[in-house]
Amino acid sequence: MTWRFDTRVVHFRQKGLERETPKAPPIYQTSAFAFSDLDELEAYFAGERQYLYTRFRNPNADDFARGVAALEGGEDGVAAASGMAAILAATLAVVKPGERILCPEEVYGGTYHLFTHELARLGIGVDFAPANDVDAFARAFTPETRLVFLETISNPLLRVPPLKELAALARERGAVVVVDNTFATPYLARPLEWGAHLVVHSATKFLAGHSDVTAGVVVGERHLVKRAREIIAAYGCHLNPFEAWLAARGLKTLSVRMARHCENAMRMARWLAARPAVARVYYPGLSEDDGERVRTLLGGRGGALVTFRLREGTDVGAFFRGLSWIKLVPTLAGVETTVAHPASTSHRALPPARRRAVGVTDEVVRLSVGLEDPADICDDLARGLAAAEGQTGAIAQSD
């Protein structure tokens, strides 16, 4: 068969590549999959072939989701375009109009907005309760409560709620438990082991780990993941193959990154606690309130985030300006250390009174500790703290 020019332009392809075994997984950057005949197409609909159309399923997205499911101890997993897409899919997999979600008062601002604005428009209600008070949480159940949504580590004050007790309570009341495990990752905590039905992640954070991917994932019980997959396909919020490939690549170094993140963060928490410009440090690894739960739920490790409250009277804006290389970034979990100002970013969507009630005042700074040499991180934080205190040119020594 000799093709003419315009056909050759479209149909060039190296033959025999299917016999090669690449060491790294190929990127299935395709919107659809080809079939040799109608029998093969029927085999897909009979469940004998997995892939038809990337919005429904793609090998890279599956590779990543199954990797996370294996780490979390879930039966199955599905990837989504973002953490919010994963939360949307997990909640819609469970709740119907007329039913209610119960979640912590300090839930991530994006989740708060999704529940109170978007799901409310679908006739789904939401109630809030303090996650650290099991009795208050129990009182917030209604006969319509169908889903309890929890977070392993709260944002930005990094509290570790009594998750085993809350999950047991929810199960007793016949509710499905979904846990956002973004901040802890399966390296620290595996909520399915304590009674969660589903775990969701903003894989944009530690799972992918390099601040170059926006992705989410839902893992857990097979029948709920199946429903989440249908929702992701219907809403078109699947993860694209390239980002899935990047996320899967990032996942391979989760253990080594998390070990170093935790080690560096503990040093930063101790160092910050000794600075006069800092009124209070919030770090699960140092928390007296949550110490027992950090031991039993997080294996005694505190994670990568350290939040601190600048002393009243310090200049918060000057703190950020005083940093030399640590960037003010409205995210977390990269290999580079970054700082965030929750009151103006992650918790901006909360009404000011609720923001104050959950402790997110203007003085609160959240540090995402990266993989650098800890002495260099201390040196830069010292520049910021000196600026916040109105000292110019003073660079405190790290210790």
Ligand X SMILES: Cc1ncc(COP(=O)(O)O)c(C=O)c1O
Contact 228, 47 (CB under 8 A): no
135 part of the active site: no
Length of the chain: 399
Of all residues in the shown chain, the one whose CB is closest to ligand X is 83
Which residue has tokens 């309570």?
169
Q: x/- string (CB under 6 A) for ligand X, residues 100-139?
A: --------x-x-----------------------------
Q: Give least dist CB 108 to ligand X, A.
A: 4
Which residues inside 211-230 make contact with ligand X, applying CB under 6 A? 214, 216
Name residue 216's beta-bridge partners: 80, 202
> What DSSP state is assigned to residue 79?
E
Distance CA 178, CA 152 (A): 10
Indicate which single residue of 58, 132, 145, 204 sits in contact with ligand X (rule: CB under 6 A).
204
Distance CA 170, CA 137 (A): 10
Q: Give least dist CB 250 to ligand X, A.
A: 13
Stretch that binds ligand X, among 45-53, 79-87, 186-194, 260-268 (CB under 6 A): 79-87
Stretch that binds ligand X, among 1-9, 81-89, 307-315, 320-328 (CB under 6 A): 81-89
Distance CA 219, CA 251 (A): 15
Q: Give least dist CB 151 to ligand X, A.
A: 6
Q: Give least dist CB 55 to ligand X, A.
A: 18
Q: Which position among 28, 57, 100, 108 bears the catalytic label?
A: 108
Distance CA 46, CA 51 (A): 12
Q: Which position among 205, 229, 257, 301 bears the catalytic label?
A: 205
Indicate which single residue of 83, 209, 303, 342 sits in contact with ligand X (rule: CB under 6 A).
83
Which residues inside 241-260 make contact with ligand X, applying CB under 6 A? none
Please give the size of the binding site for ligand X, defined by CB under 6 A.
Answer: 14
Q: Indicate whether 202 belongs to the interface with ligand X (CB under 6 A).
A: yes
Which residue has tokens 């009404």?
351
Q: Give least dist CB 115 to ligand X, A.
A: 12
327 part of the active site: no
Which residues inside 144-183 make contact with ligand X, applying CB under 6 A? 151, 155, 180, 182-183
> What DSSP state is assigned to residue 250?
H
Q: Which amino acid is at 118?
A: E
Distance CA 32, CA 9 (A): 20
Q: Give least dist CB 154 to ligand X, A.
A: 9
Q: SS3 of 244, please? A: helix
Distances (CA, A) of 231 to 90, 95, 237, 327, 375: 9, 12, 8, 36, 47
51 part of the active site: no
Question: Closest by alpha carbon to 361, among 380, 374, 344, 376?
Answer: 344
180 part of the active site: yes
Sign of the Cα pseudo-torsion (185, 96, 167, 77, in order): negative
Residues that bind ligand X (CB under 6 A): 82-84, 108, 110, 151, 155, 180, 182-183, 202, 204, 214, 216
Catalytic residues, which ones? Answer: 55, 108, 180, 205
